[in-house]
Amino acid sequence: MLDESTVSLLFKGLGETVYMTFVSGFFGFLLGLPVGIVLFLTRKGQLLENRSYNRSLSVLVNVFRSIPFIILIVWLIPFTRAMVGTSIGVNAALVPLSIGSAPFIARLVENSLLEVPAGLVETARALGAGPIQVTRKVLLPEALPSLINNASITLITLVGYSAMGGAVGAGGLGQVGYQYGYVGYNAFIMNTVLILLIALVFLIQFLGDRLSKKFNHR
Amino acid sequence: MIAIKNISKTFRQEKKVFKALDDVSLEIEQGDIVGIIGFSGAGKSTLIRSVNLLEKPDEGQIIVNGKDLAKLSSSELAKERKKIGMIFQHFNLLSSRTVFDNVALPLELDNAGKAEISKKVNELLKVVGLEDKANEYPKSLSGGQKQRVAIARALANDPYLLLCDEATSALDPVTTQSILQLLKDINQRLGITILLITHEMDVIKAICNHVAVIDKGRLVVKGSLEEVLSDREHPIIKQFSISKTVNIPQSISSTLKREPEAGLFPLVEVELNGNILFEKLLSVIYSDYKIPYKLITADVEYLGKASFGKLLLHLQGSPVENEKAIRYFNKNNIQNTIKGYA
């Protein structure tokens, strides 16, 4: 059953899934991290407390979080075309994956920062640190273990999202499983895809836990 | 040097209004150690946090070296804050940084060079006696060691003022004393002015030259340590300075009689309020009145030239002689109570 073409098909799918997960995770953080930081800093009682900024940003984040991912992919097609020139394939999938995960990441980042004891921010202020220094030297380093945990959660979510994208032409294990498993009804391939996805999720969780522990000195 | 002028601060929470500071004024001289004592909720924390404007007062001024802090721009204020060190009850060390890097933080904020940072941090760790802990993380340190790291960090910018926000309240008595000694040492060696708040009279007695008592947002008493301690009439000071009741040892209390009897001697509790020295009192009884006595317990502290505290005396002279001693106490305003006869 495991002939050469099946193996290469599965490997290609796995490679594409890993690629989509990590690259869109990276871009998701690029978008979500600053938004999360601003959400935190403009909260009541924080360094840059600003009710209207916080409210508007929060509403925007909530709107994007309410759009089901499968609809977001379709809804973003014109934008995706403008960005990467096509709406099909692995690279096209990066656009909705990044945009879909960014608001989720923003909320996770905000929560991680909330866990940092307020006394530390106060101490930094007493030492004459400005908001940027407080964020760089205190908030982010102190929240790092929690941020890493949240990165694992995000990447695992993205494994699932990318598989969903596979059904509408994004490639990766999702597409292999859908085409060969659902459409062609090849139970073997479908089960192998499942096992590979499970292994990938376990690996991300395992590495995330290790890394988070390494940076946790609390 | 530092003048707190008529500051007030009101906190509003939903419908509750809480006046944390009510027209508070205080002057602090260069090189002094000033303590503010008060019960929890009296406003002392708000007061000390007002000095570097972590808490902005609604009214009044904080004048530091001639500058009104509230009028400064945020970058000017940051610059002033660097010259005011602060330590906290819960130390507030960064868990993600080693001891060395925690002390280096203020220097990093100023973009100091690596060599400069390393030199300064090692110097400071020596001052607080933690050279060998440089590469440890805070979680492996004891409370006292953590506070030492925090003190080193507070000194990194060569401040002229150190604010101590309940700095010893989370420490055991022995560690508290060693931290207070370190603060005193820093005050004397480096000439850094210290303003501290506490709810413990022992902390005040250990290192402060001047004291202010805060109650319900107002400074009710201010003065030198001796002045404030001898003002026993003031209800707040009374509450703080009533030293622990003197315990009568079991061997005596079991045979203690309420009324005088032949062959029994009075057990007298004497309270020293600073108006007579401990030695003087004993020498009056023994040398002047020639009354034999047994000193059962004594809990006495010396503050400058005055003694404060309580002692339990078992006078063993004749009834007439003992009466003379009691009369001497009363004449000299030395509080005394006869606990019984044994």
Strand order in the sheet with B293-303: B293-303, B306-315, B266-273, B335-341
Q: B32: buried, middle or exposed (CB in 10 Å: 19+, 13-18, 0-12)?
A: middle
Phi, psi (deg, nearest 5) at residue B113? -75, 160
B79 in the same domain as B113: yes
Chain-chain contact of A127 with B52 (C-beta, under 8 angstroms): no
| CATH number of the domain where residue B7 is located | 3.40.50.300
**Structural domain total, chain B:** 2
Output the pLDDT for position B232. 67
Give the pLDDT mean for A93-104: 95
Is the pLDDT assigned to residue B302 strictly greater than 80? no
d(CA A159, CA B108): 40
DSSP structural state of residue B199:
S
Q: Write out pLDDT tens, residues B175-213.
A: 999 999 999 999 999 999 999 999 988 899 899 999 999
Q: Residue A46: list chain B partners with CB under 8 A.
A: none
pLDDT of B227 strictly over 90: no
Q: Are residues B9 and B150 in the same domain?
A: yes
pLDDT for B304: 66
Which of B241, B263, B288 is at the close of a domain?
Answer: B241
Domain co-membership, B113 together with B96:
yes
Nearest to B94 among A120, A122, A133 (CB): A120
Instruction: Give B-chain residues touching A127 at CB under 8 angstroms.
Output: 81-82, 105-106, 109, 153, 157
pLDDT band at B278 (very low <50, low <70, confident <90, very high): confident
**Alpha carbons A200 and A194: distance in angstroms, whole number:** 10
Q: What mean pLDDT do residues B12-26 have?
A: 90
CA distances (Å), origin A33, targets A19, A37, A150, B91, B277: 20, 6, 11, 29, 67
Q: Is the pLDDT of residue B306 over 80?
A: no
Average pLDDT, chain A: 94
The stretch B79-93 carries a mean pLDDT of: 96
d(CA B139, CA A58): 36
Domain housing B306: 250-341
Given pLDDT bands bounded at 50, 70 and 90, which one contains residue B243? low
B237 and B258 both lie in a single domain: no
Pair B180, B283 in one domain = no
Shared domain check, B289 and B231: no
Residues B47 and B183 reside in one and the same domain: yes
B91 or B229, greater pLDDT = B91
pLDDT tens digits along A105-153: 999 999 999 999 999 999 999 999 999 999 999 999 999 999 999 999 9
Q: B322 and B266, same structural domain?
A: yes
d(CA B309, CA B4): 33
Are B151 and B90 part of one and the same domain? yes
Averaged pLDDT, B266-279: 85
- Do the Cβ atoms of A11 and A189 come closer than 8 Å? no
Q: Where are the alpha helices (DSSP H) in chain A?
A: 4-41, 51-66, 69-75, 77-84, 90-114, 118-126, 131-133, 140-166, 172-176, 187-215
pLDDT score of B301: 76
Is there a single domain that holds both residue B262 and residue B149? no
> Do B109 and A141 lie within an 8 Å CB cutoff?
no
Instruction: Give the pLDDT of residue B150.
Output: 98
Beta bridge partners of B61: B5
> Among residues B241, B264, B293, which one ends one of the domains?
B241
Considering only alpha carbons, which residue of chain B is nearest residue A213? Answer: B96
> What are the sequence ranges of the domains in chain A?
4-215
Q: Which of B14-18, B100-104, B289-293 has the highest mean pLDDT?
A: B100-104
CATH of domain A4-215: 1.10.3720.10
Instruction: Give the CATH number, domain containing residue B319.
Output: 3.30.70.260
Same domain, yes or no: B266 and B194: no
Cα gap B285→B278, rounded to integer Å: 11
pLDDT of residue A11: 93
Residue count of chain A, please give it.
218
Are B279 and B206 part of one and the same domain? Answer: no
- Which of B182, B209, B241 delimits the end of a domain? B241
